Amino acid sequence: MNSDFTLNPFTAEESPAVGVTFEKLNKQFGDLVVLKNINLQISPGEIFVLMGPSGSGKSVLLKHIVGLEAPTSGRVVVDCQDAADPETREDVRMAMVFQAGALFNSLSIYDNLALYLREHRFGQESHIREKVMHALQILSLEATGSKFPAELSGGMRKRVAIARALVMEPQLMLYDEPTSELDPIMAATISEIIASLRHEYHVTSIVVSHDRDLALSIADRVGLLMDGNLITVSTPAELKTNPDVRVTDFLNPKIDLHKPRFKKLEA
Ligand SMILES: Nc1ncnc2c1ncn2[C@@H]1O[C@H](COP(=O)(O)OP(=O)(O)OP(=O)(O)O)[C@@H](O)[C@H]1O
Ligand SMILES: [Mg+2]
């Protein structure tokens, strides 16, 4: 990217989408085995949604792509380069929307978005301003530019994190729970943004989500991670008809309102 970058819309056309491959990926923290022999190929321009119970290893898997975690064995390949190699992060524009936002609390919302553009000298402040305001407007955050993260609701911070990822004009977008904390209308807007980034700019998206509607509506393929194992990878339609009881129980959890849960204290 240079100072000739397109101001609007996002993502310069000359940037091809990138693929991601997991090859026999294993990850352990001490004795805790988190990821077990993950083999998966995500195509350039694909929207891949990763679902699975809490603690199953979804965030750890995403962190391997951006090099925040290193494999215990196996490897992750981004655009033909090892994700653990810092040069990969120089060559491929990846943006990650972290589960908890990961905003800089001492910077205003505007400066949180402008930081990356200023650090990479993406042009004059007027150009940066246009990009930042465009991203804020897409996420309905125009009024928040001068506020600080602590002054926003959880859902607003989540949207700021997405806006900040957008200004990077990524080839590869990684989202960790992008719709948690959002109301249903805003959640639908985020699904639309993810889909249009692919349709219009061929951005590859890997989305970790518990949001069944999002997964089934925008994914090309859905993977289900359980206890560190990728137990199935399929289209949303195939997933819905998958007879595996682990899949059906996950997608259609039963609620037992009468199950005893609390021990009665002795008088
Ligand atoms: N840096 C770390 N050191 C030790 N254990 C870790 C570390 N990061 C994650 N873990 C453990 O790895 C397991 C998987 O964590 P991960 O954050 O990937 O879960 P998750 O599937 O994203 O869950 P959730 O849906 O709740 O976000 C958990 O048992 C967690 O405690
Ligand atoms: Mg997580």
Single out the residue of 202, 249, 207 nearest to residue 226, CA to CA: 249
Minimal-distance CA residue to ligand 1 atom 25: 54
Domain assignments of the chain as residue spans, ordered by start: 20-251
- Contact 34 CB / ligand 1 (< 6 Å): yes
Q: What is the spatial order of strands in the sheet that 229-234 belongs to?
A: 94-97, 172-176, 204-208, 47-51, 221-226, 229-234
Say what the pLDDT of residue 263 is.
Answer: 82
Query: Please, what is the Cα angle at 6 between 12 and 4, to 5 degrees?
Result: 100
Could you tell which of 27, 34, 180 is best to mutate to test the pocket of ligand 1, judged by most ligand atoms within 8 Å of the CB?
A: 34
Q: Which ligand is nearest to the CA of 52?
A: 1
Which residue in this structure is represented by tokens 């090892």? 82
Ligand 2 geometric centre to CA of 197 (Å)? 23
Question: What is the model's pLDDT at position 180?
Answer: 87
Instruction: Take residue 224 and report the two structure tokens written for it.
Output: 């289900």
Distance CA 176, CA 210 (A): 10
Instruction: Give the CA angle between residues 227, 68, 231 to the nearest 5°.
Output: 20
For the chain, give the secondary structure using H, E and C: CCCCCCCCCCCCCCCCCCCEEEEEEEEEECCEEEEEEEEEEECCCCEEEEECCCCCCHHHHHHHHCCCCCCCEEEEEECCEECCCHHHHHHCCEEEECCCCCCCCCCCHHHHHHHHHHHCCCCCHHHHHHHHHHHHHHCCCHHHCCCCHHHCCHHHHHHHHHHHHHHCCCCEEEEECCCCCCCHHHHHHHHHHHHHHHHHHCCEEEEECCCHHHHHHHCCEEEEEECCEEEEEECHHHHHCCCCHHHHHHHCCCCCCCCCCCCCCCC
Contacts of 184 (CB under 8 A, 6+ apart): none
Q: Which CATH class is domain 20-251?
A: alpha beta
- Averaged pLDDT in 10-residue chunks for the chain of 267 residues: 36 71 97 97 96 95 95 95 83 86 90 89 84 90 92 88 89 92 86 87 92 90 96 95 94 87 79
pTM value?
A: 0.88
CA 83 – ligand 1 centroid, Å: 19
Give dist(CA 247, CA 212) in Å, integer.
Answer: 12
**Does the C-beta of 70 come closer than 6 Å to ligand 1?**
no
Structure-block tokens of residue 157? 């911070």
* pLDDT, position 35: 98
What angle do the packed helices 125-138 and 154-167 form, to 10 degrees? 130
